[in-house]
Homo-oligomer: A and B are copies of this chain.
Amino acid sequence: LTKRVSIKDIANKVGVSVASVSYVLNNKEKAGRVGKELAARIRKAATDLNYQPNLIARSLQSGRSWTIGLIVADISNPFFSNIARAVEDEASMHNYTVLFGSSDENAEKSQSLINTLIKRQVDALIIAPAEKTENQVRALRKINFPLVLIDRYFPAVETNSVRVDNFEASYRAVNHLFANGYRNISMVAYNTNLQHMTDRKEGFLKALKDHGMKAGKMSLLESSYEHLDTDMENIMRSALDKKTNAPDSFLFATNSLAVKGLKEISKRNIRVPDELGIVSFDESEALDFFYSPVTFINQNTTAIAKEAVNILMRQMENGRNTKTKIKPEQKIIDTTLVVRKSSGQKKMAP
Contact = CB atoms under 8 A, between A and B. Distances in A.
A175 interface: no
Given A55-B120, A100-B100, A285-B259, A146 B1 contact: yes
A82 interface: yes
Contacts of A2: 143-144
Interface stretch (A31-39, A186-194, A288-296): A288-296
Nearest to A112: B92
Interface in A43-98: 52-57, 59-60, 65, 67, 74-76, 78, 81-82, 84-85, 88-89, 92, 97-98
A57 B88 CA distance: 25
Contact of A81 (B56, B76, B117): B76
Contacts of A88: 75, 100-102
Contacts of A146: 1
A107 interface: no
A118 interface: yes
Nearest to A83: B76
Interface string A307-323: 00000000000010000
Copies of this chain present = 2
Contacts of A319: 1
A121 interface: yes
A283 to B, nearest CB: 11
A335 B82 CA distance: 27
Nearest to A117: B97
A182 B54 CA distance: 58
Contacts of A332: none
A198 interface: no
A119 interface: yes
Given A75-B85, A88-B101, 8 more contacts: A2-B143, A2-B144, A52-B118, A56-B59, A76-B78, A76-B84, A81-B81, A99-B99
